[in-house]
Amino acid sequence: MHKSVHTLIGGTPLFELTHELIPADIRVIAKLEYMNPGGSIKDRLGMFLLKHAINNKYITSKGTIIEPTAGNTGIALALAAIGTNVKVECVIPEGFSREKQQLMQALGATVHTTPNESGIEGAIAYAMKLTDEIPDSYSPCQFKNEQNPLTYYETLAPEIWSQLGGDIDVFVAGAGTGGTFTGTARYFKEKNSAIRTVVVEPEGSILNGGTPGPHRTEGIGMNQLSAVIDPSLFDSIHTISDREAFRMTQQLASNVGLLVGSSSGAAFCAAIKEAQMAKKGATIVTIFPDGSERYLSTGIYEEEFR
Ligand code: PMP
């Protein structure tokens, strides 16, 4: 019997995916991170960031955490602060999904929006300004905080490793801050350096040498290299268009019954590309970071992508 929402975080299931483009002898497996109580992989990070801030006395137990976020980290921090006296203020570019803002507010956080044109950098700058103004406050800033990859190195990666008994040939994950990819890929490479680790981005992201631009796939993509991503772990980089990602997200719902966000669709597209060039009998693991319900207002299941 759980008595705190926090003990519900982690221990998410693995799911073996089917798709006509996956060769018969290859397994593609997704870690269903949308089954965390706040609905995303970031619930793990929220706990780490809050504990780190208090343990290191960056804030008192009545202080304020201020974070620039595309949404899921804000929800996760608000969830982590439940049952404490810590206040959470989230700064989110206004174009990101309205549902995420509502969920942060439902969990007791204050939401500030910044203009879309200034991107996540605008949200980061505004969060820094708030941190200067509000006493007893701290911004963990997931984009440059080593706790971010460490979270996944210490939680997600060992969970997957033990669930599969180390039977992993390829790891595929999207990168927004790059924390998930870097922490998990680092752990896997340390266990077995033959594991291929593959990063996924949308078109309009810079990892593959592209120019920064707008994209509809939420949660992944970078305008500049984040301080927490480790490019030495890139064995390959897949750049997936919004159209491919959204079409796959719709197929995951209608064919498999998985109600996941578009970054999961992009991850699955990349995992299928890897499956088509993998050696016989290979196991490919990917991450489905969040669910689709928080994107219904953004048109995630619109007809145009079918
Ligand atoms: N997918 C979604 C939906 C996300 O919110 C995020 C976090 N921005 C990611 C993927 C990427 O995670 P990370 O920041 O660890 O690279």
Q: Which helix (H) or strand (E) holds 188?
A: helix 179-191
Query: Probe ligand 1: pick from 154, 263, 290, max atoms within 8 Å of CB?
Result: 263
Q: Are 244 and 203 in contact (CB under 8 A)?
A: no
Choose the weakest-confidence range: 99-103, 158-162, 300-304. 300-304
Q: Are 173 and 287 in contact (CB under 8 A)?
A: yes
pLDDT at 306: 60
Ligand 1 atom with least separation from CA of 175? 16
For residue 305, name the pLDDT band (cuts at 50, 70, 90): low
For residue 118, name the pLDDT band (cuts at 50, 70, 90): confident
Ligand 1 atom with least separation from CA of 177? 14
Asked whether residue 81 carries a pLDDT value surpassing 80, the answer given is yes
Percent of the chain residues topping a pLDDT of 90: 92
pLDDT at 304: 67
Q: What are the b/e assignments for 75-88, b being 16+ CB within 10 Å?
A: bbbbbbbeeeebbb
pLDDT at 96: 82
From 97, 120, 300, 284, select the one nearest 206 (Cα to Cα): 120
Asked whether residue 120 carries a pLDDT value surpassing 90, the answer given is no
pLDDT at 69: 87
Q: Are 297 and 282 in contact (CB under 8 A)?
A: no
What integer best gives the mean pLDDT of the chain? 96
Q: What's the mean pLDDT in 197-221?
A: 95
For ligand 1, atom 2, the nearest C-alpha belongs to 219
If you measure from the C-alpha of residue 178 to the centroid of ligand 1, how many angstroms do you get, rounded to a whole number?
8
pLDDT digits (tens, 9 = 90+) for 250-292: 999 999 999 999 999 999 999 999 999 999 999 999 999 999 9
Percent of the chain residues topping a pLDDT of 70: 99
Residue that wins the pLDDT comparison between 299 and 43? 43
Q: Using the structure block, give the residue that is written with the tokens 């991107």.
A: 119
Query: Probe ligand 1: pick from 40, 198, 199, 206, max atoms within 8 Å of CB?
Result: 40
Helices (H), 72-178: 72-80, 98-106, 119-133, 147-154, 156-163
Ligand 1 atom with least separation from CA of 142? 14
- What is the complex's ipTM, to 2 decimals? 0.99
